[in-house]
Structure 1
């Protein structure tokens, strides 16, 4: 593990986020393509020993280096919830993909002060991709500057989502279908990988119907520092709106219009 001494600058927090994301992702990778047992949590989502062990060790890594910061993750209770700053962790975003041997899963880490995201990183070890960003520091993908695409018409765009059925809010399907009918390519298996595609210019639009803070916080600076737009379905620029529309800048308005005009802006 690193012996780097971090500080509270954006660049240092970005470096820490990237390092702990890779550290935790490598731990989870030890169970990838194995017959890991899958449990079902109270909310119906799956969890494995890989999720828990990766988060446990990531928390220990962060506690050693940032002892005054809070910790908020998917698998364990919050630590120091009253702290001014907190780290938000998702050890495996895309567990359903992970347990099926699909490589489009990742480890997400964000540092926040209130609802302001100070740094974020995502590591996708099965496809050897690491991306990190902080406000004013840019977005960096495997060591090179990342940028959203310049595609400016929906007819040329690639649209990604995690599940186009919108199982928890099926009444949103019509708005989704309106948008998906206007683009060149529409794909699922989104999860965290869809945001990576937008931030690196390989897709233009990522839509998520339901997200938790640990799903979205890291993604906010990745998209915005790559030159894109990140909002909830109300059009508010936030990582904490309960749902997400992430786009390149050129399609920010056109991609949001059918969703915002659907009349359903509930979180």
Structure 2
């Protein structure tokens, strides 16, 4: 297998640098603009993505870079695609909520192999690469050992989005079964699962840049990130993070609510 350590180190350094840039705007009255899809964007989003792209281009000029704000920049090495979100949770960022993250993922030959999620306002750095483990601020991160969802915590981003995307019944079942339900939203909910602080994170709608780091992060932490049918992917337009122990129960619930 290709040596992933240099890619992981670059992703960590780059996410940290971009994240520190966002803190210059955080809780400073930054005004959002609104994109065509009715989602906000700020100068911090654009500035952070420019930093990320510049660092990747300098290190690996042939790699493709896909980002939320500036689209796809095709490279000559088609096997390697960096997928980035400079601020995941821009709504939280604009309101001064510290749960937003900087996401950097690397896909090699169609498989997400490297993932970094940095939460600047909390200074939490979650990083992983295939075969290299998952770490939070230098300490090994692992999913919880909760035996059943009734003893666990499920998280979500937008309660209304489940009904909007045809997942209202499934969401209702999860709420009834889970031991607790909390709105720890966006990428932070998936990070909580990877670090054993939550047991399930559900998103009925996701873009690839919203979740590119999480297949390797969850995999290396002993868990699962993928679609609502049990396939590890960032391209299903949806996503869940959970533990391997709870995955069969979760998939049954989601199937029953389909």
TM-score of the two chains, using structure 1 as the length reference: 0.92
Larger deviation, residues 243-252 vs 111-120: 111-120
Q: Please give the residue correspondences for 1:114-193 in structure 2 after superposition, counting only pairs within 5 Å.
A: 114-166=109-161, 169-193=164-188
Larger deviation, residues 109-118 vs 51-60: 109-118
User: For residue 260 of structure 1, what is the aligned residue in structure 2?
Assistant: 255
User: For residue 49 of structure 2, what is the aligned residue in structure 1?
Assistant: 55
User: For residue 227 of structure 2, what is the aligned residue in structure 1?
Assistant: 232
Contact 1:163/1:190 (CA < 8 Å) preserved in 2? yes
Which runs of 4 or more aligned residues in structure 1 lie more than 4 Å from their structure 2 counterparts after TM superposition?
Answer: none
User: For residue 76 of structure 1, what is the aligned residue in structure 2?
Assistant: 70
Residue 27 of structure 2 corresponds to residue 33 of structure 1: yes
CA displacement 1:173-230 (0-9 Å, x = unmatched):
1210111111111011310000110000000000011111101111111111100012
Residue 94 of structure 2 corresponds to residue 111 of structure 1: no
CA displacement 1:27-81 (0-9 Å, x = unmatched):
1111000111111101111100000000011111111011111111000031115
Contact 1:69/1:87 (CA < 8 Å) preserved in 2? yes
Higher strand share: 2
Q: How many residues align?
A: 256
TM-score of the two chains, using structure 2 as the length reference: 0.95
RMSD: 1.4
User: For residue 86 of structure 2, what is the aligned residue in structure 1?
Assistant: 91
Distance 2:149 2:70 in 1: 41
Unaligned runs of 5+ in 2: none
Cα distance, 1:112 vs. partner? 0.8
Contact 1:115/1:239 (CA < 8 Å) preserved in 2? no
Contact 1:164/1:173 (CA < 8 Å) preserved in 2? no
User: For residue 46 of structure 1, what is the aligned residue in structure 2?
Assistant: 40
Residue 186 of structure 2 corresponds to residue 196 of structure 1: no
